[in-house]
Amino acid sequence: MVYTLPGIRLNTLPSISHSGADRRSTVAASSSTNLSLLLRKTSLTRKFIAGRSESQSFIVGATEKVLDNSSSTEQLEALDEDSEHSKINLDEEQVDEINEKDFVASPVLVEDIAAMEEVDLVSLFDIDKESEEIRKLSIPPPGKGERIYEIDPLLSNHREHLEYRYSHYKKIREAIDKYEGGLEAFSRGYEKLGFTRSKTGITYREWAPGAKSASLIGDFNNWNPNADVMTRNEFGVWEIFLPNNVDDSSPIPHGSRVKIRMDTPSGIKDSIPAWIKFSVQAPGEIPYNGIYYDPPQEEKYVFQHPRPKKPKSLRIYEAHVGMSSTEPMINTYANFRDDVLPRIKKLGYNAVQIMAIQEHSYYASFGYHVTNFFAPSSRCGTPDDLKSMIDKAHELGLVVLMDIVHSHSSNNTLDGLNMFDGTDSQYFHSGERGYHWMWDSRLFNYGHWEVLRYLLSNARWWLDEYKFDGFRFDGVTSMMYTHHGLQVAFTGNYSEYFGLTTDVDAVVYLMLVNDLIHGLFPQAISIGEDVSGMPTFCIPVQDGGVGFDYRLHMAVADKWIELLKLRDEDWKMGDIIHTLTNRRWSEKCVCYAESHDQALVGDKTIAFWLMDKDMYEFMALDRPSTPLIDRGIALHKMIRLITMGLGGEGYLNFMGNEFGHPEWIDFPRADQRLPDGRFIPGNGNSFDKCRRRFDLGDADYLRYHGLQEFDQAMQHLEEAHNFMTSGHQYISRKHEGEKVIIFEREDLVFVFNFHWYNSYSDYRVGCLHPGKYKIALDSDDSLFGGFDRLDHKAEFFTFEGNHDNRPRSFMVYAPARTAVVYKLITDVVDPTPLGQHHVSLPDADVA
């Protein structure tokens, strides 16, 4: 189907199946919800949408004091300045002490694993009834919030701050329950604000307390500001009702352009509605236009496939739809659905994390300067195209995570929220506090009631309407601290996390949004991008934590770049182990060797650090390799495997990096002259470096193919053994002279030899389980671009006797720059004494 907007032609895919009724129609609420609604009607009939437009803070009750961030921090007494180092910061002696004990070293508690297994058994709602069923759910009330002190006794030294934080959270929950009918109802702000359709017409509401007058304009009324003038209530909400046409058709045609014209303190301005569901930039125009998106029922995409169950181990493929084509173009949701999703599934990943979904006027912002928070990016297609893409992912068994941006907003005043009602303080902090100088963007005021409604409803919208399975929250460190983590080195001292620089309002918002996510969508996943290592970050809100499921383990990628700048001789095995395992007990992490950050122009991917310009000339198998290429291919595989093996309970890879993508990412851009006179050259608006050359990884005559095959084998090994979430982890060896690392995950033994030329025959490997071992994964396999120095038919039998603090061991050949994973085949102890096992060796070693 093709439909046309004035000057715009948009394509959408044919609807696979249709529903005979509006699947988003309101259903009868449960008795508890009816009671909440009754309470709202009797106690707050005059307070429409609980706004308090005249204040940047909000009122908990008539007799309660105003809660704002300044008072929340100033009331805290000076905290103890004694150095208290977090459990996340273990020195190497402590790591050695830990490794001398045989214990469950994975930061997954036993009860967490049991809970994960229980989740797998939970039956899901029928996808066509999910929204109705979710409305009937009630989000559990706040708990005592005290289990954090059992998990980490050091937190007791900061109990005053943490108790204040939790009491602040509880007061907001109580206020939402009292004035809004609960968090479930509060998070459906999109059913009150923005455009809402009824049988008799369309209602449009907009919160713009700073505006003096407002009118709805668009194609439907020839942009006449006098045709549809809006009225304002006492809380700054503007409203208009447009009755159906005489033929009972919609007063605003589907696909037509709309804006709100306001007389503001900054002058007359036309803005895209803040709650708009779709916006488009017409060819040849700079500003975007809001689009009234309400296709006929028979053209709406209807979801067919249930959500996949939450996986025990997250293996995330980070992707950007627009740059996912092999051609220099902006790719579409439909092409991503048909071409890229099957690739992700084949590679063995179980989750896809989609970047740049929320509409952003500036393409080169990578989607992080959001202008329209409820609208999917129109560059890649329509909202229904996106729904079809997500449904296909679910059909393939892939969890779909959205890279959501609630940490800041675009500075754009034409298309976004900035200066929406002519003031700088509507959605954001005013003045310097509301501006992020490094990102050139606006910062939300999380202490404002309507900001909470807007952001919580935004999270709910993407989960409910589009069936996303969770979020990766961007820039959380910037949210949680008034210094935004800029020019601050976190050392692990607890005073850095629980002091006057902590933005309590922002932390409480994160607690609320995690309440919402997990309360209404129990299978949903929340990941926070936090570089600070804040304690309690991944502890449930009921226990006093912030409530995330995972923290991004961002230090690992930085460590690899640091090491790649050194000679191989200077790599410290203990340093690698320390970085990979240095994380908080019981708080899960998603690790990665590199993400999209390292792929951007101005930075380097791991493959580029390793092989540099040789990648352009020596990656064909019919041409001789070079020492740089051989080293690069070997270390590229080893770095990824050890990161997955020890770095966390989840793993992330940015698309194309699995095969060592040779190009950086450079968005199309024109030459630019800055106000200070400086000239910044562009790239001729070229898309050549804004794509992914998947054809290189698929070409079996190129060395990229071996890297891709290894990554696929690595993912499938984890799928078979779930070693990232294994209850058993033991690091038995990290030898600096030999450059060898050995560790166990469940019934697997990982052996890494990082030495650049030393290979070790009859090398003794300590292990826990007795029996027979065989090679499960070999980075030196010729299929993966290796030298085939190991015999994959060989069997390795254990013998009794302590070695590296393990009760038994077996003998292997450990070639230089090779990682090998050995799998336990039987649990039968082999009685053969030491020295009588034969290990096949190659005729010649390759240095």
Q: Calculate the alpha carbon distances from 781 to 346, 427, 710, 719, 784 in Å.
A: 20, 56, 9, 20, 5
Q: Are 355 and 369 in contact (CB under 8 A)?
A: no
Distance of CA 455 to the CA centre of its chain: 16
- The helix-helix angle for 573-581 and 627-646 (nearest 10°) equals 40
Among left, alpha and beta (phi > 0; psi -120 to 50; other), residue 363 is alpha
Nearest to 633 by CA among 844, 843, 812, 819: 819
DSSP H/E element including 174: helix 159-180
Distance of CA 765 to the CA centre of its chain: 38
Q: Read off the DSSP letter of residue 840.
A: -
Amino acid identity of residue 528, one-letter, is: G
Secondary structure class of 242 (helix, strand, coil): strand
Q: Are 310 and 350 in contact (CB under 8 A)?
A: no
Residue 528 bridge partners (DSSP):
473, 551
User: Per the residue annotation, which of 180, 206, 359, 474 is the catalytic one?
Assistant: 474
Is residue 432 among the annotated active site residues? Answer: no
Burial of 286 (0-12, 13-18, 19+ CB in 10 A): exposed
Q: How many C-beta neighbours within 10 Å does residue 459 have?
A: 26
Angstrom distance (rounded) from CA 544 to CA 146: 6
DSSP H/E element including 196: strand 194-197
Angstrom distance (rounded) from CA 761 to CA 740: 13
Distance of CA 193 to the CA centre of its chain: 27
Residue 315 bridge partners (DSSP):
651
**Could you tell me whether strands 358-359 and 351-355 are parallel, antiparallel, or unpaired per DSSP bridges?**
unpaired
Angstrom distance (rounded) from CA 367 to CA 365: 5
Q: Are 220 and 259 in contact (CB under 8 A)?
A: no
Angstrom distance (rounded) from CA 118 to CA 126: 19
Q: Who's near 819: CB < 8 A, 6+ residues apart? A: 637, 638, 641, 642, 750, 751, 752, 753, 777, 779
Distance of CA 523 to the CA centre of its chain: 15
CA atoms within 13 A on the CB side of 36: 22
Angstrom distance (rounded) from CA 594 to CA 245: 55
The phi, psi pair for 668, rounded to 5°, reads -60, 135
Angstrom distance (rounded) from CA 471 to CA 353: 8
Angstrom distance (rounded) from CA 429 to CA 423: 11
Nearest to 591 by CA among 480, 725, 777: 725
- The helix-helix angle for 627-646 and 555-564 (nearest 10°) equals 160
Q: Read off the DSSP letter of residue 356.
A: S
Residue 410 bridge partners (DSSP):
441
User: Per the residue annotation, which of 130, 206, 505, 529 is the catalytic one?
Assistant: 529
Angstrom distance (rounded) from CA 95 to CA 99: 6
Angstrom distance (rounded) from CA 570 to CA 560: 13
Hey, what are 573's tokens? Answer: 């095995």
Angstrom distance (rounded) from CA 526 to CA 403: 10
Is residue 738 among the annotated active site residues? Answer: no
Query: What is the secondary structure of 61-129 as a DSSP string?
Result: STTSPEE-HHHHHHTSPPPP-S--B-TT---HHHHHHHHTS-SB-SS--HHHHHHHHHHHTPPPPPTTT
Secondary structure class of 711 (helix, strand, coil): helix
Hey, what are 15's tokens? Answer: 């609807």
Active site residues: 474, 529
